[in-house]
C-alpha cells in the first residue's frame, strides 16, 4: 500500500469527529456496526461522534481499517482520504537526483523487542522521516530483534494491515501488550509463532482459542536509528 505524502499538521477533535462521520456516511455504516467491527463499545463510538473523546493509538487504526480510510487522514492530516501513490519528483532537479520527501508519522508508543509491554498511546506525538509505505511509528524497546538490525530506541515504521506474510516482522498486540516479532502462521495446526531475532529469547506460540487474543497492527517496513 502506497501512502501519499501528508502536510505536517495536527487535526482538532472537531475535525476528527467530522471526518469520522463523513467516512461512516460514505461507507454506509452505523455506529453499532462500527463498534462490532472494531471491538470498541457503542458508547465509545458515540463519544467520538459527539466530540466528547478523541481516540488514540490502536483505536484509530481499528477505525481507519474498518472504514477503509487512511489513519492519518482520520487524525486530521492534510492528505487524501484513502491511500494513493506518492507524488512524482519535483521539477528543476538533475535527472539523476530525486527530492527527499519528508512526512510526519503518528508515534503510537513503545513496542517490545523482548518481553511484551503494555500498549501505550502517544497519539499527540509525531516522527519526521523520509516518505515510506508506513502509516505510523513505534519505538523499539529491548534487544530481541537485534538479528534484524532493530535495536533498543530505534523508530520502527509500520504499514497498517491485519494480514502479513510468513516470515515478515509484525507489530502485534496480545490483549493489552504490544510486541514486535517475526510472524509465522501454520493454518493446518491453527498455530501462530512470534519469533525473536535473538537466541536469548524463546518464541511466543499461540494455538486454538489463544489466537483470539492476538491482534496484528501491521508489518514493519522501515527502521530509523543511529548507526551501530
pLDDT per residue over 139-160, tens digit each? 899 999 999 999 999 999 999 8
List the catalytic residue out of 46, 84, 128, 144.
Answer: 144
Confidence of residue 39 (pLDDT cuts 50, 70, 90): confident
Which superfamily does 13-74 belong to?
lambda repressor-like DNA-binding domains (1.10.260.40)
Q: What pTM did the predictor assign?
A: 0.56
All 3 cell numbers of residue 75? 487524525
The CATH architecture to which 103-224 belongs is: Ribbon (2.10)
User: What pLDDT is recorded for position 117?
Assistant: 45
The percentage of residues in the chain with a pLDDT greater than 90, rounded to a whole number, is: 32
Residue 204 pLDDT more than 70?
Answer: yes
How far apart CA 86 and CA 83 sit, in angstroms, is 9
- Nearest one of 121, 127, 123 to 104, comparing CA atoms: 127
Q: Which residue has the cell 513496542?
A: 111
Per-residue pLDDT reduced to its tens digit, 71-101 = 888 887 777 887 544 444 344 545 555 555 5
Of 216, 95, 201, nearest in space to 144 by CA: 201
Predicted confidence at residue 164, as pLDDT, reads 93
Catalytic-residue membership of 41: no
Q: Which residues pair with 125 in a beta bridge?
A: 107
Average pLDDT over residues 22-28: 90
Answer yes or no: 181 catalytic.
yes
- Residue 203 pLDDT > 50: yes
- 191-195 vs 177-186, strand pairing mode: antiparallel
Residue by residue, DSSP assigns 174-189 as ETTEEEEEEEEEEGGG
Distance CA 185, CA 167 (A): 9
- 70, 141, 181, 195: which is the annotated catalytic residue? 181
Q: Rounded to the nearest 10 degrees, what angle do helices 42-49 and 31-38 cross at? A: 120
The residue ranges of every structural domain in the chain are: 13-74, 103-224
Q: What is the pLDDT of residues 110-144, one digit of tens each?
A: 777 755 444 455 445 777 777 678 888 888 999 99
Amino acid at each position: 500500500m502506497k501512502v501519499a505524502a501528508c502536510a505536517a499538521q495536527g487535526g482538532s477533535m472537531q475535525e476528527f469527529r467530522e471526518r469520522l462521520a463523513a467516512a461512516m456516511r460514505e461507507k454506509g455504516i452505523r455506529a453499532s456496526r462500527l463498534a462490532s467491527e472494531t471491538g470498541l463499545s457503542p458508547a465509545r463510538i458515540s463519544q467520538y461522534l459527539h466530540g466528547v473523546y478523541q481516540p488514540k493509538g490502536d483505536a484509530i487504526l481499528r477505525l481507519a481499517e474498518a472504514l477503509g480510510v487512511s489513519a492519518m487522514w482520520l487524525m486530521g492530516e492534510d492528505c487524501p482520504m484513502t491511500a494513493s501513490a506518492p507524488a512524482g519528483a519535483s521539477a528543476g532537479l538533475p535527472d539523476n537526483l530525486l527530492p527527499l520527501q519528508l512526512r510526519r508519522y503518528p508515534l503510537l508508543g513503545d513496542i517490545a523487542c523482548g518481553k511484551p509491554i503494555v500498549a501505550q498511546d502517544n497519539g499527540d506525538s509525531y516522527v519526521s522521516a523520509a516518505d515510506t509505505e508506513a502509516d505510523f511509528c513505534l519505538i523499539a524497546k529491548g534487544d530481541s530483534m537485534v538479528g534484524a538490525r532493530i535495536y533498543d530506541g530505534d523508530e520502527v515504521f509500520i504499514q497498517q494491515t491485519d494480514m502479513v506474510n510468513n516470515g515478515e516482522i509484525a507489530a502485534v498486540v496480545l490483549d493489552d501488550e504490544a510486541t514486535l516479532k517475526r510472524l509465522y502462521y501454520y493454518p493446518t495446526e491453527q498455530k501462530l509463532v512470534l519469533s525473536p531475532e535473538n537466541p536469548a529469547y524463546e518464541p511466543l506460540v499461540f494455538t486454538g482459542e489463544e489466537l483470539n487474543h492476538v491482534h496484528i497492527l501491521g508489518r514493519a517496513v522501515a527502521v530509523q536509528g543511529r548507526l551501530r
